[in-house]
Amino acid sequence: MNTLTPKSPSEEFAYAFDLTERLGDGDTVSSVAFSIEVYEGADPQVSTMLTGSPSVNGALVSHKIRGGVNGTTYYLEALATTTDGEKIAGSGLLLVKKGA
């Protein structure tokens, strides 16, 4: 599984997935939805980590992530719909730790 760059609980910035290799010839990303869940550890407020709206820039999809509990690992997934009607995903594990 893909491991994302760790973040500090106080940081807030966008995580991105490049879906170029998942797209067929001539296909493009038309929309994306992100989800985040606890993979290891505990966080009763995990649903508040996704802030704002996701972004699509060509094959690059991103969403701003904030907060998180120190020492907790999260599973982040981007599920994109393409202009050809396909569903493709990018995902990774995100560790939140102080001093990241």
In tens, the pLDDT along 23-64 reads 989 999 999 999 999 999 999 999 999 999 999 999 999 999
88: tokens are 């493709």
Question: Rounded CA gap, 30 and 48, in Å?
Answer: 25
Fold of 12-96: Immunoglobulin-like (2.60.40)
> Domain residue spans in the chain?
12-96
> What DSSP character marks residue 47?
G
Query: Model's pTM, two decimal places?
Result: 0.94
- Residue 45: per-residue pLDDT: 96
Q: Which of 77, 67, 63, 64 is nearest to 97 (CA)?
A: 67
For residues 8 and 24, the answer to whether their CB atoms sit within 8 Å is no
For 61-79, the pLDDT digits (tens) are 999 999 999 999 999 999 9
Task: Kindly list the distances between the CA atom of residue 10 and the CA atoms of 13, 49, 68, 83, in Å, as whole numbers in the listed order.
Answer: 10, 11, 8, 37
- Residue 58: per-residue pLDDT: 94
- Residue 18: per-residue pLDDT: 97
Residue 1 confidence class, pLDDT cut points 50, 70, 90: confident
* Residues sharing a CB contact under 8 Å with residue 86, sequence separation 6 or more, in sequence order: 24, 27
